[in-house]
Amino acid sequence: MSTARAYHHGNLRAALVDAGVQVVREHGAAGADAVALRDLARRVGVSHNAAYRHFADREELLGEIAGVGMTALTEAIAARLATLGEPDAVRAARLALREIGRGYVAFALADAGLFRLAFAAYPSLAGAPAMEPELEATVEASPFGQLNRALDALVEVGYLAPDARPGAEFTCWSLVHGLAMLFLEGPLQRLGPAERESIVEGALAAIDRGFGGTTGGAWPPLG
């Protein structure tokens, strides 16, 4: 069914966003550049003037589409976390961090256009300790919030030392985002799935070992 047929009176804004998501996915990594409000209006079967009554400009529309991408990434990671079912608290916390990393990179590779757009429009974390309530809620309901909660859980179960917790979220985020970008457009983009998986697993294992080392325990590998 085409997007135009899916449009119903009174829901034009949502229809335009849905059409924008479709365009981004169709064009992959270059998806954001392919989004034009006039073209989306044609897709949903309305005049471009009608479309401009819902969005002040293209940037506002891209922000809405980026929000869809961020929500999709958050839900993809949450789905992975929901399947863990590990009774041991320490292993559960370690596995959760690993699944967040796996899910992040997997989403980037599977939905490159939405992934790029989502982070192009990600709210600035400058001055994070003094965030406005609305921004704080946005961050908490994002992969960054999932990551922070996973790291806090590692501290709670005694795997990550409290004095090693500050800034750990940026170490983890830099690692998985850097790998995602290397696979998407860097010198690693020609690697096959098995090679990419090996690199991701090795990097996540190194992070896990490093965090366990902060408490000096003889922690077994996750396997």
Is the same domain home to 147 and 204? yes
Is the same domain home to 42 and 78? no
10 Å Cβ neighbour count for 144? Answer: 21
pLDDT of residue 131: 54
Domain with residue 81: its CATH number is 1.10.357.10
pLDDT of residue 65: 87
10 Å Cβ neighbour count for 172? Answer: 22
Stated pTM of the model? 0.85
146 exposure class (CB count in 10 Å sphere: 0-12, 13-18, 19+)? buried
> Is residue 219 one of the residues assigned to a domain?
no
Q: Is 29 helix (H, G, I), strand (E, B) or coil?
A: helix
Is the same domain home to 168 and 194? yes
pLDDT of residue 117: 85
Is the same domain home to 75 and 166? yes
> Is residue 207 within 8 Å of 151, Cβ to Cβ?
no
pLDDT of residue 124: 57
> Is residue 192 one of the residues assigned to a domain?
yes
Tally of structural domains, the chain: 2
Full pLDDT tens readout for the chain, 223 residues = 344 444 554 588 888 888 888 888 887 666 677 777 777 878 878 777 776 677 777 788 888 888 888 899 999 999 999 999 999 999 999 999 999 999 999 999 999 988 988 887 665 554 455 556 666 677 777 899 999 999 999 999 999 999 999 999 999 999 999 999 999 988 999 999 999 999 999 999 999 999 999 998 889 999 8
> Is residue 60 one of the residues assigned to a domain?
no
Is the same domain home to 86 and 168? yes
- Residue 161, token pair as written in the block: 């030392």
